[in-house]
Structure 1
Amino acid sequence: MSMLPSFAFAHRCLRPCRLHAALAIAACALLAACAGHGPCDASPYASSPQFKGCGFRNPPNPQALPSASPWKIWPRFLFETKTGTMPIDPIPVHALGAAQLDALDPQANHVARIGHSSSLLKLRGSYWLIDPMFSERASPFQWIGPKRFEESPIALAQLPAIEGVIISHDHYDHLDAATIGYLAQRAQRFFVPLGVGRRLIALGVPADRITELDWWQSATQGEVQVTAVPAQHFSGRSLDDRDDTLWAGWVMQSGTQRIYYSGDSGYSPNFRQIGERFGGFDLALIENGAYDSHWPSVHMTPEQSVQAFEEVHAQVLLPVHNSTFDLAFHPWQEPMARIAKLAEDKHIELATPELGEVVTIGVPRANVRWWEGVR
């Protein structure tokens, strides 16, 4: 029997049970100990190199450190006092509107940061979304769970017509039920890793609008080519579906420019392989946040994020997976402060847009450390 990943499990089960901590630990431990994949029936994904036994697996990585025991992590989420993990002052947000989006050069490629790992892209005139997460909470329930620091810079109802949606994996902070439900009949196509298609179908997305891809597989929508690439992570949305679906990073080719999005990933040889295969990128959106020594191989420290950036051979680094939800124990500004110092020391071109701010690929910009001075 497999245990649920402690990082995800703590948010889904333990935090809502804070008032009954002792009972929560016992009940959750029992459920986790009994959780598994169920019968290992023949899988439609058995031919994938990533599918082994009863689910998807990361490639062997001798350098990957194991996560701490759930028995060590659960009490932290229940009893440890957090310090500075949520801002006191408002975080700056640029409201995004139709007029501003329409005014963006239709021959260029633009990325607007929505929050956490979500981005709205205008790729040579067509609009795309990466891991769209517009709900108030990163949780299966909107009455409990990690709450957004600030509202999204653009509301779902204000979005332009969406050509494509890219999903990296099925965790709640990346695949949001309410957001997908809204986009189900409005986005032209959804690109997801293997197995995630059934999640979308359950949320109302027509099957004929979904393209499932394994690592290194590509597809095209309009003038944009997307490729799923390896990541070192895990998946699951409940107690009994650990690693039933694949996780991935993504490469987007629009015109002559390439964008890399890491998805969620621990540091691994994947990044060097991606850099070698594609020969570099104009912009890399790389996760930088929610890391912890208790789960060292599913999220990266800022130092590892910079190393990953260097190995994929990108021109500009745009850190994501931070400044939106309280998902770990580090101060909320720490990921940005550490990566900004590293980028300065290594002479890396860093883009740290405020929420709602647009980055145009290949166009110089004045970068601002917006988190400094925000408590």
Structure 2
Amino acid sequence: MKLKKLLKWALITGAVIIIGSCAVTKNIEANIVQPLEASENYRDGKFHNATPKSKPSFGEMMYVLKRYITEKKIDPEPKNGLPIQQVTRAQLDALSDDELHLVKLGHSSILIKANGEYWLIDPVFADRASPFSFLGPKRFQPTPITIDELPPIDKVLISHNHYDHLDKAAIKKLIGKTKQFLVPMGVEGDLQKWGADKSQVTRFNWWQELKVGDTLFAFTPSQHFSGRGLGDGNTTLWGSWVIQTAGKSLYFSGDSGYFDGFKKIGEKYGPFDLTMIETGAYNEDWPDVHMFPKESVQAHIDLRGVTMLPIHNSTFDLSFHPWYEPLKRVTVEAEAQGVKLTTPIVGEVFTVDKASDGAWWEKYL
């Protein structure tokens, strides 16, 4: 048990906090082969955050490790199965092409149908958020649809390369049915190693944009870190996504601590009809790389969002808080701030204008 907790701590939390800067908007079409060194936040072989942060001391890292080994958690996972709505290919194909539809697949994975196309954000279908099939945080419930059942995917968007956001097995299966992968700088190496053709993968620096018809994809900053092993920390970029299409504007946070970048993104691309904001896996021992629910709501306000979808919760046990706490706390804070939440169950199809606001988790406490 101690070994499992040790590996979980090392693989998931990382306990890494780094520094960096920002960049100006550039059209990705003019910078497809831009070298890593061209990024303003790439120095000495590593990417860095825009806001300087101090690295944790060895003692601080050992304290977190001790907590993972010795601390008893309260309700780290549901005692009973969580609600889910199965999604079929026929159901997806029957959705109208002139309205933007979304489906929460679990954790931070989102399926979008817009303009008759299907897009996936951070698709994770694995049973565990881990490099191992037998060890690491285990999924609370299955995904509402399998990769085989999905329709052809026009675009897959990746925020960063942590195991709960970049699923190797899922990517390998998606390669044959995906037209284009949009990834942070450096992540293209993994996808090509896993079988993606170079022409399938477009990599982004912060503030780079891709315009496809009437749709704009922009890769924007977040305050986080990257790494999938012991020696590759921060060698690939991390970030968030802006999507403007079909008369709607969406924001996807990826993983991030709270920082002034949210205001900058809101000023440049807002207001957003829907923000998908990380709300989970927070803790006082790593406040710079994950947000507390109060900060998640403030990020939504900074972004000039209309409706907020809390993501990054209720799927994997990645911190010390109860599985349901992020949703309870963000609901209280949203009410206090007058923020409109949408809280669909996994598999529920919803639109920006017809959001689901039921506190479904209350029945499973």
Do these two structures clear the TM 0.5 threshold for a shared fold by scoring above it? yes
User: Match of 2:3?
Assistant: 17
CA–CA distance in structure 1, aligned partners of residues 133 and 196 of structure 2? 21
Match for 1:232 among 220, 223, 248?
223
For the structure 1 residues 137 and 157, does the alpha-carbon distance in structure 2 shift closer, same or farther, using more than 3 Å as the test? Answer: same
1:185-220: CA deviation from partner (whole Å, max 9, x where unpaired): 210000011111001111111111000010110113
Match in the other structure for 2:253 = 262
1:154 to 132, 145, 153: 145
Contact 2:294 2:333 in 1 (8 A): yes
Structure 1 residue 67: Cα displacement: 4.7
In structure 1, which of residues 332, 343, 348 is the aligned counterpart of residue 339 of structure 2? 348
Matched, 1:373 2:359: no
Q: Which amino acid counterpart does residue 310 of structure 2 have in structure 1? A: P
Retained in 2: the 8 A contact 1:302–1:339?
yes
RMSD between aligned alpha carbons?
Answer: 2.0
> 1:39 maps to which residue?
none
Aligned to 2:67: 76
Identical residues among aligned pairs (%): 42
Question: 2: CA distance between counterparts of 1:17 and 1:96?
Answer: 37
Check 1:170–1:304 CA distance in 2 against 1; reply closer, same or farther (3 A cut). same
**Displacement, 1:346?**
1.9
Contact 1:86 1:149 in 2 (8 A): yes
Instruction: Look up the SS of the partner of 1:212 in the other structure.
Output: strand
Q: Could you tell me how far 1:97 is from its partner in structure 2?
A: 0.7
Which of 145, 149, 157 lines up with 2:136 in the alignment? 145
Instruction: Tell me, yes or no, if structure 1 residue 135 matches structure 2 residue 126.
Output: yes
Pick from 108, 116, 122 the counterpart of residue 125 of structure 1. Answer: 116
TM-score (norm 2): 0.89
Change (3 A) 1:162 1:72: same
Letter in 2 for 1:305: S
After TM superposition, give the deviation of residue 79 of structure 1 in Å: 2.1
Q: TM-score, normalised by structure 1?
A: 0.87
CA distance in 1, matches of 2:89, 2:222: 34
Q: How many aligned positions are there?
A: 340
Could you list the structure 1 runs, at least 4 aligned residues long, displaced by more than 6 angstroms after superposition: none
> 1:275 is matched with which residue: 260, 263, 266?
266
2:350, 2:356 within 8 Å by CA — same for their partners in 1? no
Offset from partner CA, 1:81-139 (integer Å, 9 cap, x none) = 21111000111001011222122121011110000000010012100000000010100
Structure 2: segments with no counterpart, 5+ residues: 15-33
- Please tell me whether the aligned partners of residues 133 and 179 of structure 1 are also in contact (alpha carbons under 8 angstroms): yes
The offset of 1:367, in angstroms, is 1.6
One-letter identity of the residue aligned with 2:209: S
Greater Cα offset, 282-291 or 255-264: 255-264
* Maintained 8 Å contact 2:344/2:356: no
Q: Check if 1:50 corresponds to 2:41.
A: yes
Gaps in structure 1 of 5+ consecutive residues: 1-14, 33-42
Question: Which digits, 9 at most, give the CA deviation of each residue in 1:29-70, with x for residues without a partner?
Answer: xxx9xxxxxxxxxx9311111102220000134xx5765721
Q: Secondary structure at the match of 1:345?
A: helix
Residue 210 of structure 1: aligned partner:
201
Decide which moves more: 100-109 or 217-226: 217-226
Is this contact kept in 1: 2:343–2:356, CA < 8 A?
no
Query: Which residue of the other structure, out of 271, 292, 296, is the alignment partner of 1:305?
Result: 296
The verdict on how the C-alpha distance between 1:235 and 1:16 changes in structure 2, with shifts beyond 3 A counting, is farther
Whole-angstrom CA distance in 2 between matches of 1:233 and 1:202? 24
